[in-house]
Chain A
C-alpha cells in the first residue's frame, strides 16, 4: 500500500534506526551483459530523466555508449524479465538515447593520479579502446598502435555507416583520448613495430586487441583469381574507407551472418541493381540479428535459403555467376542447428556480376615470431589465461575477437576491461587473479513482478524514409523521443530492487554510505565460542496455498501481520485503517483463526500457534478503538487466551468493546462482484447456515519453521519435533539435543513475547552455567579522564548546533541561531557542525571544551532520548561532569515538524535554546554513587522454579540460600504424575533435588520462612525463621518463587464421594496404581473448575493439557473405558495440540459446555451422575461415571508479608506483578528482586524451569557487575526542612524514601539513591519543599518557564 524504495528504514521506530538497502539477485540484464554494464542502473536513471547520471553509470564499465547503443545484439534484452509481462525493454536503444542526450565529452573527467609506466595497445577496436580507457583512468601512459588510418576497428570498417555513423564513434574515441590515451594510426604490427621493439621503447606491458579482419575463404577454385569476387570483410572495409565507391549489376552474397547482411545493404546503397543473399540453411538458423534481416528484406534484398555455392562460374576470368546446390535440413549438428544436406543433382546457376563471400572471418597474427613467445591456439587465436587475459608471455595480454574468434563488440569491451585490470595489477606488482574467479551468480530471488503491470507494447524507433535509405549511408534509425524513452524505461520492474546507480552515495553528506559500504556483501567469520544460542524465530505461514481463501487474488483478504502494519502509526497508511482495494475505511471486518495452524489436511501444521487468538482480539480491539462503529467478528474454533491477564482482555473485548466471537471455521470466501466486498458462508453452532458480507477479511496466520532454519538445525545436529521445532526436554527447556547449543523463542515452539523473553534469559543463563569460569576474561578496561572541579566557577557555556545535514539546516536558519546565541548570558563559545554526532566532531568538541575552559554545554540537535548519552560521553572525555549538559531538540520538535514555516521554526529553535542555556547555567555536577553488590543470593520457595533459580545461581558461582517452608523440596511437582511429553515427573524431581543437595553453593533451609527483610538492591539483610530459631543472611539479590496451590472446589459434589477427585488427586491415584483408576469403565473430566469464573477470571493454563494427558492414561490402562471431557475451550497450545488430536483418535469424547449452562453432578450409589448438553446434538445427556475428575484452578498464595518485605506488588488475583508484562516477566520493578514459577502465573513444569533460569539470569547480570551505580538525577531531602509527614514514603512506587531511624534527624525522611528512579513524584508532593530533584530542580524549571 505504501511504496518503499531500495533504500529504506524498516519502520519509524525500528531498532537500530538505520537505513538499509535491499538488493536481491543481480538484475538479469546486468548479469547477462558480457561487458558488465549496469543496464538496470542506467534504465532507472533514464526513467527519472537523469540522463547525465545514466551516462556516468554506463561509462563505469563502457567507454562507448553511443556505439554499443546502436549495434549491440543486447544479450541484456534476452534476459529481461519484463518479457513475462509483455516484452523485454528496449535496453539497447535506451542506452543510445542517453548517449544522444548527453555529449560524452561533457562528462567530468575523473581525477587521475598519473603513473610512469607505459602500456602499448595493439588495435584501436572495442577491446583496445576499452583497455586503454581503463588503464588511462588508472594513470598509466597508454599508446594505441592501429594499422588502419582510422580508429574503431571493426566498429569503423566492419559496420556500415547507416548503422553506426562515424561521427558517433569518433566522439567516443575522442573521450578515450581526452583521458590521455595516444593513438598512432597507420602503424602496422610486424612492419612498423614488433613486440621486441615495443619492449625496447619502454612499454612495460602490451595488449593485443587486433580483432578478426581476415576473411575465411569459400574454398572454391577461382576464388582468388576471378575478377569481382570480393571477400565480405574486405568489401565492407573498402566501402568504409572510401576505397570503393560504386558497385554495379547483380550482387550475390554467400553467408548468413551480420557481415552478409551488412554487405548486402551496403552493396544496395553503392548502386547494385539486385542483391541476393545465398544461405545454406533457413531463416531460423541465420546468425544475423532478426532486426537486421528484417531491415534487409524491407530494402528488397533477396534472401535465398537452402542454397550452397559449389562452383564459381566465370568467363575469361570474369565472373558470370555462381553454381549452387539445393540443400535440405538434416539432423542437428554440434551447434544445435539442423545440418544442411545437399540434394544430389539439384545444381543450378545464380547469375552474378559480383560475388561477396561472407562466411566468416578470423584473426591474423602472422606478424608474431616464434621468439616472441606468444602462443596461438589451433584456430590461430591468442591463447590466454581465462581470468587474467595474459598470454604465454609475461606482461603481454590479449582479448576481444583476437582471442575468442569473431564475436560481438560488447564481449570485446568486457575483455578489454578485464585485461586492463590485470595489466594494472601486473604493473603494480599485485596478484592478478585474486578475487576474480568467475562466480555463478544465482538468478532466482528477484523483485516480484507487479500483478497490476499493464501490458505496454515495446517502443520502436522512427526510421528515415525508404528512398533515403537505399540512396545513401545516412543512419536509418533515429533513436527514441524523450517521451518514448521515459515510458520504456519506466516499464523496468527493478529485478534487483536496488539498481546500484550509487546516487545515494552522492547524496550522503555524512559519508556513511560509500561505494564500499554499498557493495558490502555477506561475510564469513570464524568465531571461537563455547556455546551457541539459536533464537532464529519463526516464519509466518503463507496462506497462498489455501486457494479457497483467495489470498493474493482478492486484495481485501490480508494476513494478520499485514493488518498489524495497517494499524501502526508508522505503517503505510500511518495507522489509518483502510482496505487495500479502494482505500475505503472498512465497516465490517472478519478475522479467521487457525489459518495454517491446527490444520493437518491442507498444510502440515498440526500444532496450535499459541499467539493468534490473543493477537486477533488485540487487532479487533485496536481497530474498534480507531472506529467504534466497526463491526468486528472473530471466527474461531477454541478461544485460547491462556496467558496472564489474557482472559480478562478477552472478556473485555466481548463485553466492553463489542467484538463478536463466532465459533465456526469458515470454508469459502467469494468476491461480491467488483465491489471488493467478500461474501462468506458459515454454519452457526445451532446448525443454521449464515451468509454474510464483509469489507475485509484478516487471516490469523500461524507460526512455522522455515526450510532454512531446518537446514541450520541439521548443521547443528539438532533433533526437531514433529512440527519441526527444536526438541527440548522438560527439565532443560532451552537446551537442544546437542549439548552446548541452546534455543529460545519460537524456534523452541510457538510462543508469545513474555515466554520468548523468559526463554531468552534462560538460554543466556544456561550458556552462562557452562561458561562461568570464562566470565570477565575478554573484557577491556577504559581509561578514566579525571573530572575537573567546576564548583564556584562562573558558568562558561559552550553551544554546539547541529545541521544534521539538511535535516535541520534545511529549515532552521543556523546562522541566525548562532548570532542569537552569542547574545545570551554566559555564552563563551558557539559553533555549528554538519553532523554533531560524527566521531570527528566529538573529538573536536572535547578539544574545544578544554581549550575554552567551558564548564556547561548545550547541544542543539536531535532528541536527547537517543543522543544524550553520546554527548555526555564527550563531556566525560573532556573532564566535565556529564550532568553539566542540556540538549535542545531542534530536529524532531522543530525542523521536521515545521517545514513550511522556516521563520517560525527558527524563532522556536531560538526560544528552546534560550530555555536550555538558562537551565544549564543552573546545573551542578552530580555524583553517581557506586555501591558494592553482595555476592550471595536468597531464593524463597523450593519448588521447581526456585530450585531451578538456585541451581543456576550456584553453578555460576554464587552462594545461594534456598528457603522452603515445607520439610522437603519439590513444591507442587510432588503431586504430579507425568508431563505431556510422557516423562516421569517424580524421577525428574528426584534428580533435581539431588542436584540441589550436592551443590556446594546452595544452602537449603527447610521448614523455614522469611520473617524480616531490610535493605535494597545489592545489600539485603533478611531473617530466616525456623523452629530452630532465626538466622540473618546478607544477600545482594532475592528471588520469589513461592508457588501456588490447587483450588479445592465447593462445586460438582467434591468431597461428597471418593469418586470425585481433583486433577492432582487423580495423579496421586495413578502414581499409586490405584485399582479405581486401573479398572475404571467411565471416566469424566470437567474443565475450568474454579478458573475463568467471575471470582477467578483467569485461565489456569495447564489443566486442558493435564486432562487430555490423564484421559489418554486412563485409555492406556483400560482401552475399553469410556472417557469424556467436558470443556469450555480446549487450550492445548503449541505442540500440546498433538496430544488433543491423539486423545480424539483414541476415542476420548469431548463435549463442550458454556459458562451459563454448566454440567450438574449428583452422587448416587452406583456412581457419579453428570448431566450436560451435547453441543453437537443440542440434546441433554446423562453420564454415569466411575470417576469424575475436576480440573481445578491454580490459586496463588497471596503472600502479603513477602510482598511487603520486598516492596513488590500483587494483582487482584494474588499473583505477583512483574516489572513488565512483556519485556520483564522474571523480575520486579524493585531492583534486585526476581520472580519465577506459579507465583507469577500458572504454568507447566518446563515453563517453570525456564522462568527459574530466567530469574537467575537477570540476577547474575546484576551480581556479575559487582557494583551498582546510582543515577545522578535523583531526589534528595534537606532534613532541616522535612516535616516528617511521610507523604514521600507513601507515594514512592520504588520505596526510595524512608524515615531515618536514629541520630540527629531521626524521624525525618531520607532518599535511598540506589532505589530512586528520579521520577520526581515525591518532589512535587512534598508539602515542605524539602525535596529536590537533581537535574530537574524547581529553580531550573522555573528559570526555563521564565524565559519562554
Chain B
C-alpha cells in the first residue's frame, strides 16, 4: 500500500486553471506527476458523465477547476 500512487484526472478551464498550471510551470513549482490534465473551454463544458467515465477508466481522483 505504501507504494500506491493515486491517478488523478484534472479537468481544467482553459481561461483560469489551465493558465494557472502554466504559471506554476513558469514559477518552477514542483508537484507530484500523478495528474493528467484535460483542457476544457470552460467548466461549464464539464458533463457529469466525464467524471463517471474517468472513474470507470481507473481514475482515483478527479479535480475540476475553473
Q: Which of B23, B36, B57 contacts A12 (CB 8 A)?
A: B23
B49 to chain A, nearest CB (A): 8
Stretch at the interface among A380-388, A841-849, A1334-1342: A1334-1342
Instruction: Tell me whether A898 and B22 are in contact (CB under 8 A).
Output: no
A775 within 8 A of B: no
Indicate if A1319 sits at the interface (CB-CB under 8 A). Answer: yes
Q: How far is the CA of A1320 from the CA of B40 in the complex (A)?
A: 9
Q: Are A1341 and B42 in contact (CB under 8 A)?
A: no
Find chain A residues with CB under 8 A from B58 CB: 1348
Q: Which residues of chain A are near B3, meaning CB under 8 Å? A: none
Which residues of B sit under 8 angstroms from A1348, Cβ to Cβ?
7, 9, 36, 54, 57-59
B21 lies within 8 A of A1342 (CB): no
A13–B19 Cα gap in the complex (Å)? 11
Known: A569-B23, A892-B21, A1345-B38. A897 touches B45 (CB 8 A): no
- Mark contacts of A891-927 with chain B using CB atoms, 8 A cut-off: 1 yes-contact digit, 0 otherwise: 1111011111100110110011001000000000000
A433 to B34, CA, bound (A): 65
A864 touches B39 (CB 8 A): yes
Give CA–CA (A12, B24) in the complex, Å: 10
- Judge whether B50 and A900 touch: CB under 8 Å: no
CB–CB B54/A891 < 8 A = no
B44 touches A1324 (CB 8 A): yes
Q: Is B33 an interface residue (CB 8 A)?
A: yes
**Within residues 1107 to 1135 of chain A, which ones have a CB less than 8 A from any CB in chain B?**
none
- Contact between chains at B38 and A1323 (CB < 8 Å): no
A1323 touches B39 (CB 8 A): no
- Size of chain B's interface in residues, with CB distance under 8 A? 38
Q: Is A1346 an interface residue (CB 8 A)?
A: yes
Cβ–Cβ < 8 Å partners of B50 in chain A: 1341-1342, 1345
Verify if A233 is at the interface (C-beta below 8 Å from B).
Answer: no
* CA A1129 to CA B32, docked complex, whole Å: 52
Q: Are B41 and A1320 in contact (CB under 8 A)?
A: yes
The docked-state distance in angstroms from the alpha carbon of A293 to that of B21 is 67
Contact B45 A896 (CB under 8 A): no
A308 an interface residue at 8 Å Cβ cutoff?
Answer: no
Closest chain A residue to B48, Cβ basis: A1324
* B53 contact set on A, CB distance < 8 A: 1342, 1345-1346
Asked if A1336 and B41 make an inter-chain contact with CB atoms under 8 angstroms apart, the answer reads yes
Interface assignment of A865: CB less than 8 Å from any CB of chain B: yes
* A1074 CB-CB contact with B under 8 Å: no
Query: What is the number of contacts between chain A and chain B, taking CB atoms within 8 Å?
Result: 110
Do B45 and A12 touch (CB < 8 A)?
no
> Which B residues lie within 8 Å of A1319 (CB)?
41-42, 44-45
Question: Which residue in A893, A899, A1324 is a CB contact (below 8 Å) of B21?
Answer: A893
Does B29 make an interface contact (CB < 8 A)?
yes
Question: Please, which residues of chain A bring their CB within 8 A of the CB of B49?
Answer: 1338, 1342
- Given contacts A905-B33, A1341-B40, A1345-B38, whether A865 and B18 have CB atoms under 8 Å apart is yes
Query: Do residues B45 and A1333 form an inter-chain contact, with CB atoms below 8 A?
Result: yes
Mark out the residues of chain A between 1302 and 1329 whose CB falls within 8 Å of any chain B CB in the assembled complex. Answer: 1318-1321, 1323-1324
Q: In the complex, which residue of chain A has the Cβ closest to the Cβ of B18?
A: A865
Q: Which residue of A lies closest to B51 (CB)?
A: A1345
CB-CB under 8 A from B18, the residues of chain A are 865
Contact at A1321–B45, with CB atoms within 8 Å? yes
Asked if B2 is at the interface of the complex by the 8 Å CB criterion, the answer is no
Residue A1154 CB within 8 A of the other chain: no
| Interface presence of B1 (CB below 8 A) | no
How far does the alpha carbon of A1342 sit from the alpha carbon of B27 in the complex, in Å? 31
Contact between chains at A1345 and B9 (CB < 8 Å)? yes
Q: How far is the CA of A559 from the CA of B7 in the complex (A)?
A: 46
Does residue A634 face the partner (Cβ distance < 8 Å to B)?
A: no
* Interface residues in A, total, Cβ within 8 A: 42
Whether A822 sits at the interface, judged by CB under 8 Å, is no
Are A900 and B26 neighbours in the complex by a CB distance under 8 Å? no
One of A897, A912, A1273, A1318 near B31 (C-beta < 8 A): A897
| Distance of A915 Cα from B29 Cα, bound (Å) | 24
Other-chain contact of B26, A12, A915, A1323, A1341 (Cβ < 8 Å): A12
What is the bound-complex CA distance between A897 and B34, given in angstroms?
A: 12
Q: Is A1283 at the interface (CB under 8 A from chain B)? A: no
Cα distance, A1333 to B54, chains bound together (Å): 19
Identify which of residues 135-149 in chain A touch chain B, using a CB-to-CB cut-off of 8 Å.
Answer: none
Chain B contacts for A12, CB-based, 8 A? 23, 26-27
Cβ-neighbour of B42 out of A900, A1321, A1346 (below 8 A): A1321
Is A1204 engaged at the interface, CB distance under 8 Å to the other chain? no
CB distance from B36 to the nearest CB of A (A): 5
**Interface residues in A1208-1258 (C-beta closer than 8 Å to B):** none
Q: How far is the CB of B14 from chain A (nearest CB, A)?
A: 7
A892 CA / B20 CA spacing, docked (Å): 10
Given contacts A912-B36, A1319-B45, A1333-B41, contact A897 B59 (CB under 8 A): no
A907 proximity list for chain B (CB < 8 A): 33
How far is A1333 from B44 in the complex, measured between Cα atoms in Å?
A: 12
| Cβ-closest chain B residue relative to A1293 | B44
Which residue in chain A gives the minimum CB-CB distance to B29?
A897
**CA separation between A1318 and B40, bound complex, in Å?**
10
A898 to B32, CA, bound (A): 7
Q: CB distance A896 to B28 under 8 Å?
A: yes
> Residue among A13, A898, A908, A1324 with the most chain B CB within 10 A?
A1324
Question: Which residues does chain B contribute within 8 Å of A608, judged by CB atoms?
Answer: none
Tell me if A1000 is interfacial: C-beta within 8 Å of chain B.
Answer: no
Q: Give chain A nearest CB distance to B24 CB in angstroms.
A: 6
- A889 proximity list for chain B (CB < 8 A): 22, 37
Q: In the assembled complex, which residues on chain B have CB atoms less than 8 Å from the CB atom of A1342?
A: 49-50, 53
Q: How many whole Å from A865's CB to the nearest CB in chain B?
A: 6
CB distance from B40 to the nearest CB of A (A): 6
Query: Measured between alpha carbons, how far is A1344 from B49 in the docked complex, in Å?
Result: 13
Most chain B beta-carbon neighbours within 10 Å: one of A865, A1319, A1321, A1323: A1319
Query: Given A904-B33, A1342-B50, does the pair A865, B14 have CB atoms closer than 8 Å?
Result: yes
- Cβ contacts under 8 Å, B9 to chain A: 1345, 1348
Return the chain B residue nearest A904 by Cβ.
Answer: B33
Name 19 extra pairs, CB < 8 A, besides A865-B18, A889-B37, A1345-B38.
A12-B27, A570-B23, A570-B26, A570-B27, A863-B25, A889-B22, A896-B25, A899-B28, A1320-B40, A1320-B41, A1321-B45, A1324-B48, A1336-B45, A1341-B50, A1348-B7, A1348-B9, A1348-B36, A1348-B54, A1348-B59
Residues of B within 8 A of A (CB): 7, 9, 14, 18-19, 21-33, 35-42, 44-50, 53-54, 57-59
> CB within 8 Å of B: which residues of A?
12-13, 569-570, 574, 863-865, 889, 891-894, 896-901, 904-905, 907-908, 911-912, 915, 1273, 1318-1321, 1323-1324, 1333, 1336, 1338, 1341-1342, 1344-1346, 1348
Please, could you name 27 A-B residue pairs with CB atoms under 8 Å apart, sorted by A?
A12-B23, A13-B23, A569-B23, A570-B27, A574-B27, A891-B25, A892-B22, A892-B25, A896-B25, A896-B28, A897-B25, A897-B29, A898-B31, A899-B28, A901-B33, A1319-B42, A1319-B44, A1320-B41, A1320-B44, A1320-B45, A1321-B44, A1341-B38, A1342-B50, A1345-B50, A1345-B57, A1345-B59, A1348-B9
**6 interchain residue pairs of minimum CB distance:** A1320-B45, A892-B25, A1321-B44, A1319-B42, A896-B25, A904-B33
